[in-house]
Chains A and B, each alone.
Chain A
């Protein structure tokens, strides 16, 4: 009753609670418990009933139990014997296998390590996209996109200037974050775009690149938005085309030509498949995500830097 009252009180305070199915699910469970209690016999019989049961004529019953018990024991002995024989044969086989390991058996242990790494990169990549966009909804990559991100992570983490660039960004991230915040952008977006635009510092100063990109990103944010993960990635893809005009952007027209269902097709992956994004734009998007994955855990990629916080 207390639970029900509490549930009703919660229903009154919040309309959303009413729709939660948990409360409805709880009821059948209690009914089931009640049913069991009513239908099943009491767990502890009363002493009087126990005595009455022991006093009745029970000899024929006991004999049948005796025969059944002996039979069961025989069968058990036979079964145990058979199992023991099989086990001894199995251990011989495994011993032989241990002596001469096959090439497949040596390769097997590395497979789960690789998939774990992929999973970690996938999780980190999702986290990067969410942090660049303030989007709390779960994000998922296609298998192809994920492969692309993974290969870029491996390639880009070997960049000769990356460690220095991450150190520079560490020093300057507070200033960039302040500027990004004033423009309504997530700091991570600006910082990672700076890294991607300079290929980790190999093609210029990443801090300068981030600072230069900021006003263009701010303008693109007004056109495309960046609060949703897909909008944020489109915004990055629009960067190579510049800020566009106040009224339009070249990417808008190209998007309109191919997107029929904006709910499923308004994303960089679909736009890339339909050749709306050129290689430069697509590379910028994938590299930005890849640098985000690396910057989140540089030491896992052999870099001495601390994780970049933004």
Chain B
């Protein structure tokens, strides 16, 4: 069973909009959940075995994001790496992502790297699989769409001075860059999967939730509010990301429930370690959200290591600097 099958099995409860005490308040969580069931990931196609080229490396150097192959000693794809090298790669890249989203660097523990790795492995297997099935789609198709929307998201987040990587990979895990017009069972729609109440709260009519420009602004505003509440360090931002899926009130409630003398660190990973004390919504779905976010960000920021057709990190598609991103700027 692929990770997607496991993590998307039950999302139809609408727990972000109901008044159930265990469920996040609608006004606080923007998103509903998709209910698609994934197919298992086939093995990678020949395109996925292409090694990263020096041209890619050059592009990334210019973008200020060095290819990991330089430090890992070989120009090999993630799937070609032995297990221990994969751990090292993920640890290094996850740390890099933490610096992209927060004010500082977070040192990930081995169990948290383990969790992220599950999703990185699954994403890597989807590169070049030729599938068009939702949630099991060839990752090249996902990131081709992502390149089109990235400049708008980056612009909106930069305008709010919020790290764009937060928005870019929230969308990657919420909708895989499909701008859903139809609401899911929870009432969420659009690229960012806002429910009507949250969209209205951030100045967007529910009918306009597929307007990517407006929704990017609303999402940036929403995330800015959450960072104001949780804090600016990487693990506080990770709690904001968890709150996008579970509602910030519920995340605070979770922290109050599990933090004690044995679990002093205020982080999402503390919630994971103590998930047995949290509700089944957390155990079934929310527990996967942040690891999946980091996995998507690792893939999107080091596409050359996964053999993606995308030639540069997603966060560099600003729509201004490079030729590629000018093409990508078309709405």
The interface of chain A, by Cβ under 8 A from chain B, is 12, 14-15, 18-19, 137, 182-184, 219, 221-225, 227-228, 230-231, 246-248, 252, 255-256, 259-266
A256 adjacent to B103 (CB under 8 Å): no
Bound Cα distance A19, B70 (Å): 12
Nearest opposing residue in chain B for A255, CB measure: B228
Q: Which of B71, B224, B253, B265 contacts A246 (CB 8 A)?
A: B253
B256 adjacent to A246 (CB under 8 Å): yes
A266 adjacent to B231 (CB under 8 Å): yes
Bound Cα distance A18, B66 (Å): 10
A223 adjacent to B255 (CB under 8 Å): yes
In the complex, chain B residues 57-99 whose Cβ is within 8 Å of any chain A Cβ: 66, 68, 70-71, 73, 92
Bound Cα distance A308, B316 (Å): 50
Q: What's the A-B contact tally at a CB cutoff of 8 Å?
A: 90
Q: Which of A222, A223, A252, A262 contacts B232 (CB 8 A)?
A: A262
Supposing A183-B264, A225-B266 touch, asked if A261 and B233 sit within 8 A by C-beta, the answer is no
Supposing A182-B261, A183-B264, A222-B256 touch, asked if A228 and B227 sit within 8 A by C-beta, the answer is no
Q: Which of A15, A224, A248, A261 contacts B231 (CB 8 A)?
A: A224
Interface flag for B259 (CB, 8 Å): yes
A184 adjacent to B232 (CB under 8 Å): no
A228 adjacent to B103 (CB under 8 Å): yes
Interface flag for B104 (CB, 8 Å): yes
Supposing A222-B259, A223-B255 touch, asked if A18 and B71 sit within 8 A by C-beta, the answer is yes
A225 adjacent to B265 (CB under 8 Å): no
From B225, B230, B231, name the one whose CB has the most chain A CB atoms within 10 angstroms. B231
Residues of A within 8 A of B92 (CB): 15
B229 adjacent to A263 (CB under 8 Å): no
B71 adjacent to A225 (CB under 8 Å): no
Interface flag for B252 (CB, 8 Å): yes
Interface flag for B236 (CB, 8 Å): yes
A247 adjacent to B264 (CB under 8 Å): no
Residues of A within 8 A of B228 (CB): 255-256, 259, 262, 265-266
Instruction: State how many residues of chain B have any CB contact under 8 Å with chain A.
Output: 33
Residues of B within 8 A of A264 (CB): 161
B233 adjacent to A225 (CB under 8 Å): yes
A263 adjacent to B103 (CB under 8 Å): yes
The interface of chain B, by Cβ under 8 A from chain A, is 66, 68, 70-71, 73, 92, 103-104, 160-162, 224-225, 227-233, 236, 249-250, 252-253, 255-257, 259, 261, 264-266
Supposing A184-B265, A221-B266, A266-B227 touch, asked if A228 and B71 sit within 8 A by C-beta, the answer is no
Residues of B within 8 A of A137 (CB): 103-104
Bound Cα distance A225, B251 (Å): 13
Residues of A within 8 A of B161 (CB): 261, 263-264
B248 to chain A, nearest CB (A): 9
Q: Which of B66, B233, B259 contacts A227 (CB 8 A)?
A: B233
B27 to chain A, nearest CB (A): 12
Bound Cα distance A231, B104 (Å): 14
Bound Cα distance A265, B161 (Å): 11
Residues of A within 8 A of B256 (CB): 219, 222-223, 246
- 5 example contacts (A-B, Cβ-Cβ < 8 A) are as follows A223-B256, A225-B233, A227-B266, A260-B160, A266-B227
Q: Which of A18, A184, A247, A262 contacts B224 (CB 8 A)?
A: A262
Nearest opposing residue in chain B for A13, CB measure: B71
B255 adjacent to A222 (CB under 8 Å): yes
A221 to chain B, nearest CB (A): 7
Supposing A184-B265, A255-B228, A255-B229 touch, asked if A261 and B160 sit within 8 A by C-beta, the answer is yes
Bound Cα distance A237, B252 (Å): 18
B231 adjacent to A231 (CB under 8 Å): yes
B160 adjacent to A266 (CB under 8 Å): no
Bound Cα distance A261, B261 (Å): 33
Q: A221-B266, A228-B236, A262-B228 are in contact. List 5 more A-B contacts (CB 8 A).
A: A15-B70, A19-B66, A222-B259, A225-B233, A262-B227
Residues of B within 8 A of A219 (CB): 256
B259 to chain A, nearest CB (A): 5
Bound Cα distance A19, B252 (Å): 38
A257 to chain B, nearest CB (A): 10
Q: Which of A227, A228, A256, A260 contacts B229 (CB 8 A)?
A: A256
B252 adjacent to A222 (CB under 8 Å): yes
Bound Cα distance A262, B255 (Å): 21
Residues of A within 8 A of B103 (CB): 137, 228, 263
A299 to chain B, nearest CB (A): 35
A274 to chain B, nearest CB (A): 12
B52 to chain A, nearest CB (A): 16
B266 adjacent to A184 (CB under 8 Å): yes
Residues of A within 8 A of B250 (CB): 247
Bound Cα distance A261, B220 (Å): 11
A225 adjacent to B66 (CB under 8 Å): no
Nearest opposing residue in chain B for A182, CB measure: B261
Residues of B within 8 A of A259 (CB): 224-225, 228
A111 to chain B, nearest CB (A): 37
Bound Cα distance A137, B233 (Å): 11
A138 to chain B, nearest CB (A): 12
Nearest opposing residue in chain A for B73, CB measure: A12
Nearest opposing residue in chain B for A246, CB measure: B256
A7 to chain B, nearest CB (A): 14
A247 adjacent to B249 (CB under 8 Å): yes
Residues of B within 8 A of A225 (CB): 230-231, 233, 236, 266
